[in-house]
Amino acid sequence: MVANLEKQHGLGDERSRSPTLGPEDNALAPTKSRQSFRAYNEKTKRTLSNKPDDVDAAIWLEEASVTGIKERKGFKRRSSSSPNNPFPAGYAGGTLTTVIIGLSTYYTSLLLWRFCAAHPEVRDIADAAQVLCGGHRIGWYIGFIALALNAYCIMGLHAVAGATAVQTIRDGSEVTLVWAVVITILMWLPSNIRDFSSMTALGLVAAFTMLVCVLIVLCGHGVQGYPSGWTPGDVITHSVWSPPGTTFVQCVNAILNIAYTFIGHALIPSFIGDMEKPQEFPKALAVSMSAQLLLYTITGAVVYHYTGFEFTTAPAYGSLISKYGKVAAGFTLPTIVIVGVLYSLVVSRAIYFQIFQEGSRHRTRHTVKGWSTWLVIVFVGWVISFIIGEAVPFFSDLLSLISSLFSSWSIAYVQMDRKRMFSSPLKILETCFVVCCFCAGAFFFVGGTYASVQSIIDSYNAGAVKSPFTRANTGFVLDNR
């Protein structure tokens, strides 16, 4: 649930405010006047001679630097046209989309649970794909590629998101790349555990801290009056549906962002395979999905009410003032680390189980060969994830692309119930719903892929693409008031 909040309200394209360099003190600090900053910035060229003493030279001279890193689409008038705005569909459109996708995800997750119950040999999503392909090995490779791409990209996202949160708290006083390395190491260390036994307690910590973060975001927006970056005379606008001028790419990317927050099917077989009582999975799923629907709809609507199209940020703590935003950013860190560990465990176990087959003593005993293999798998996985997260300049668009490619598992219904699809009125109704889910998956695959690729092109054309392994501050500079 937590990784999901990150994408919808939380960890997609960061649109932070720009810090300013006051002509009087030439220091890195937020300003209340965007106009004075822009006027000054037009007159000032960054050189080593005017570099403040407390700023790294590479950051000061970097094109996408702390004064306006392009990745974050930093000016408030551009935020309403950002393709990754969480609510470009307006109140009604965003809420309905969230509810429809949430209910569809709940049903298809139950469907996948039924599939795993019918095939107890399935231990991960790659095994499930192999069964769906009639037992052919090609199915496993397709499923594993989908799992690895999804998991490694999300793990890379958490390295980026963790660095962003720390830089927000620290006001960008260090090099962003350093914090990305630190967060990656913090996720890598506990990933060396080989089973899910310790994840229950960590999962509770992640859920609690993210709940606190959501409450701070909700209460903070209500208490502070106006969002960070607002100046007298600025207008905050809202819409029931998509406002005029919203493009197909913007709407589809918004839908993909919402779908991304819910769709965690790649992890379900791994969870079920390690449960002592797999028959209890529907209860856990019902509780989880109810909480997600409640949090996503309320948080999205409330934040959008106070920020409108002009000041909506992702993550949502970016529109809070400093005394609330920094606290909220701090509470995201446990969730960022723990969910990254979870994805690492799932994909690493899928590889490990292929190297050591069922019954191997290396699976059940502490052997040098078993542990050495596991440590190498985990370490290489985090290296790949870090490189993806830091080297891919259009990383958020890449996540939308992954969501569009691997988002539907409704085909499992046909494999299980192909002889009973029209046996009763209820089965006919269920079959029609599955067809709708399949069509939605096909739309994500075709339309979503097109929108994601076009968004990447648009980002390049707009100069909104960061430099790889950026040292610049990617954190939010929040107003102090």
Q: Confidence class of residue 341 from pLDDT cuts 50, 70 and 90? A: very high
Is the per-residue pLDDT at 29 higher than 60? no
Q: What are phi and psi of 28, to 5 degrees?
A: -80, 105
- Report the C-alpha gap between 40 and 33 in whole angstroms: 11
Q: Under DSSP, is residue 294 helix (H, G, I), strand (E, B) or coil?
A: helix
Assigned domain for 184 exists: yes
Give yes or no for residue 235 having a pLDDT over 80: yes
Contact predicate 393/469, CB 8 Å: no
**At 359, is the pLDDT very low, low, confident or very high (cuts 50, 70, 90)?**
confident
State residue 49's pLDDT score: 65
Q: Which of 98-107, 198-207, 329-338, 467-476 has the lowest mean pLDDT?
A: 467-476
> Is residue 44 in some structural domain?
no
Q: Is residue 283 part of a domain?
A: yes
Task: Collapse the DSSP code of 246 into the 3-class scheme (helix H, G, I; strand E, B; otherwise coil) and give the result.
Answer: coil
Per-residue confidence (pLDDT) for residue 51, from 0 to 100: 59
Which residue, 333, 355, 360, 377, is CA-closest to 193? Answer: 377
> Domain of 357: which CATH number?
1.20.1740.10
Mean pLDDT rounded to a whole number for the chain: 79
From the list 110, 150, 149, 113, the residue with the least C-alpha distance to 128 is 113
CB 203 within 8 A of CB 274: no
Question: How far apart, in Å, are the Cα atoms of 239 and each of 68, 84, 244, 304, 307?
Answer: 28, 17, 10, 10, 12
Confidence of residue 25 (pLDDT cuts 50, 70, 90): very low
In the predicted structure, residue 19 carries a pLDDT above the cut 90: no
Q: State the pLDDT at residue 32.
A: 34
Query: What pLDDT does residue 332 have?
Result: 95
One-letter-per-residue 3-state SS of 22-79: CCCCCCEECCCCHHHHHHHHHHCCCCHHHCCCCCCHHHHHCCCCCCCCHHHCCCHHHH
Q: Does the pLDDT value for residue 13 go beyond 60?
A: no
Indicate whether 46 belongs to any domain: no
Query: Is-contact 8 260, C-beta < 8 A?
Result: yes
Task: Give the chain's domain count.
Answer: 1
pLDDT reading at 3 higher than 50: no
**14/119: higher pLDDT:** 119
List alpha helices for 119-229, DSSP H. Answer: 125-132, 137-170, 176-188, 199-224
Q: What is the pLDDT of residues 186-223, one digit of tens each?
A: 999 999 988 888 788 898 999 999 999 999 999 999 99
Residue 432 has pLDDT above 60, yes or no: yes
- Convert the pLDDT of each residue in 237-284 to its tens digit: 888 888 777 888 888 877 887 887 787 888 889 989 888 889 999 999
How many whole angstroms from its chain centre is CA 382?
17
**pLDDT at residue 343, rounded to an integer:** 94
User: 115 with 98: CB under 8 angstroms?
Assistant: no
Q: Is residue 152 part of a domain?
A: yes
What are the structure tokens assigned to 424, written together?
A: 């009763």
65-92 pLDDT tens trace: 333 323 333 323 222 222 334 455 678 8
Residue 97 pLDDT greater than 60, yes or no: yes
Residue 284: CB atoms within 10 A of its CB come to 11
Burial of 215 (0-12, 13-18, 19+ CB in 10 A): middle
Residues 381-426: tens digit of each pLDDT: 999 999 988 887 665 666 666 665 555 566 777 778 878 888 889 9
At 127 the pLDDT is 92
First-residue to last-residue Cα distance in the chain: 33
Residue 419 has a pLDDT of: 80
- Checking if the pLDDT of 44 tops 60, the result is no
Span 219-243, mean pLDDT?
Answer: 89
pLDDT of residue 466: 67
Give, as one character, the DSSP assignment of residue 317: G
Please state, in angstroms and rounded to a whole number, the distance separating the CA atoms of residues 9 and 87: 9
Burial of 244 (0-12, 13-18, 19+ CB in 10 A): exposed
Distance, in Å, from the CA atom of 371 to the CA atom of 196, rounded to the nearest integer, reads 16
**In this structure, are residues 315 and 468 in contact, taking their beta carbons and an 8 Å threshold?**
no
* Position 7 pLDDT exceeds 80: no
Q: Who's near 49: CB < 8 A, 6+ residues apart?
A: none
Q: Decide if 59 is inside a domain.
A: no
CA distance 345 to 355: 15
Nearest alpha carbon to residue 285 among 101, 99, 410, 106 = 106
Percent of the chain with pLDDT over 70: 77
Give the pLDDT confidence score for residue 14 in this predicted structure. Answer: 38
The first and second tokens of residue 23, run together, are: 């002509």
Residue 94, token pair as written in the block: 């965003």
pLDDT given for residue 156 in this prediction: 92
C-alpha dist (Å) from residue 66 to 70, 74, 88, 196, 444: 10, 10, 27, 40, 35
pTM: 0.78
Report if residue 28 sits inside a domain: no
Q: 28 pLDDT exceeds 70? A: no
225, part of any domain: yes
